[in-house]
Structure 1
Amino acid sequence: MLSPHGGGRVCAVIGHPAHHSLSPAMHRAAYAALGLDWDYQWHDVAPDQLDGFVRGLDKPWRGLSVTMPHKEAIIAFGSPDEVVTLTGAGNTLVLGESPTVHNTDVAGVVNAVHLQRDGIEAITIVGNGATARSGLVGAARLGARRATVLARRPERATGMADLGRAVGVEVTILPLGHTPPAADLVFSTIPTSGIAEHAERLAGTAELLFDAVYDPWPTPLGQAAESTGTPILSGLHLLAGQAVDQVQLMTGLDIDLDTLLRAGLDELARRSAHGAVGGV
């Protein structure tokens, strides 16, 4: 049975891999700012270890941040909230007598976009995985009514159209190589290698760009944003934006996004100075 060190509560990020996550830096900064004697760890948990890991957590454990490849499997370990039910993906497990599963990636998209603008009417989403689904629901909460989904395998993206209908967004699915119609926001959820040849073209189709990747930076989309003068948000903004809600769910206390963003930037600078390899 896994137990924390010290007398406070403990949370952690789990994934495979997980050791490169910036979540520990952000959540520890939140605890310090909130005056909490809590710990936040990282644990590399392979898919076949997930059940044993979660069931082995004892009473002092309060919550888990959940990254790939566990965002779908984690739903089995608690009662899902409305967003988890919509997206089929969770990234937060709050422990206790009645564990609950949440998807704060949707809030992360909303919180990050609000740094640049109040809302959007149309979005282009690159990809159709768990983060893309969260982006679509987030876009609906930002006021979007139209979405273009660019997918490497369009026949596998039909679920995005179903999700769009559920949240009141009209979804058009196109192959990744197509040029989408003009939009307020392009939200890319695919790896750097997949977006590279399309970045310049996509950068010219929206007023704001958002790349869910943050390291290494700049990504091809980040470089395209610089060359076109288009504002861009990175995966660091997404991570900080969703951590705002995670901290609230786990501690019951509110933290500002700037505190988390600064902690992430400081940790990236520290790793760069020490030649550490970054990751999500």
Structure 2
Amino acid sequence: MQDVPSQAGRVAVVTGASAGIGFATAKALAQRGCHVVLAVRDPARGADAAARIGRSTAVTRLDLAALDSIRSAAAELTDEYPRIDLLINNAGAWSAMRAETRDGFEMQLGVNHLGHFAFTGLLLGAMLGTPGSRIVTVSSVSHRAGVVDTADLPMRHNYRHAAAYSRSKLANLLFAFELHRRLTQADAATSSLAAHPGGVWTGLFRGANPALLVHTLGRLITQSPERGALAVLRAATDPAATGGQYYGPSGIGELRGAPAPVRASPQAHDRALARQLWNESERLTGVAYEPILPST
């Protein structure tokens, strides 16, 4: 964390910042002088997280599973902060059973991709005129197993939670890279980057059997949220980082290690698929990036 340069005078919005990687990211930015807005589903948990962080923080209610909440949060933020320097699209959903957002989207795609797509589009006006502003979208190594079929985004048949999650993480990268191309074409002052935390030790392993074996293996192949946040922080603050880059741990399997540029799967760089997903995302969310940001 000590490698993060001073963020004094900057404003950051971090989604899902009440726990885990989002909390670690928000805390590190605040410690370096950034004013950090914790955009969270549960304001009470957000307030507790802000109190633990201290320094210059604020809390905004944001439920990425509801477009009305996304619009309300974005309106509140753009009214309060005409200048936003960093947007960290970190929040995520995982569901073993098929579930839907309030607007009828498959839950994992709806929160992880469509919610962030809409939120980013609504905040973009407060970022485009800010030199050095960055949008960092958090993906996962599991994106490599993802398949995005724009004709079957509801995934009502043959739902598998792992496939749905991987699909949502591939969608994150398709969005981040397409956003980079559009920002570049518009000669914008804002950059779009992506990052993944590697394997992060969370409560996911607790309660599994045999407990000792799971805990031992879990500790060996994963890292803490603080370590996982390093790739996100590097994408957000490294002066040498540029739009279109993707950061993750540099160790074996990109599960652990110091943050470094890493390669995304070939599917993540499929421009035709990215444009299809972008157009469908605009249609589903009702958030259009044009004329603020022209299409490629």
TM-score by length of 1: 0.42
Query: Comparing both structures, which one devotes a greater share of its residues to strand?
Result: 1
TM-score by length of 2: 0.40
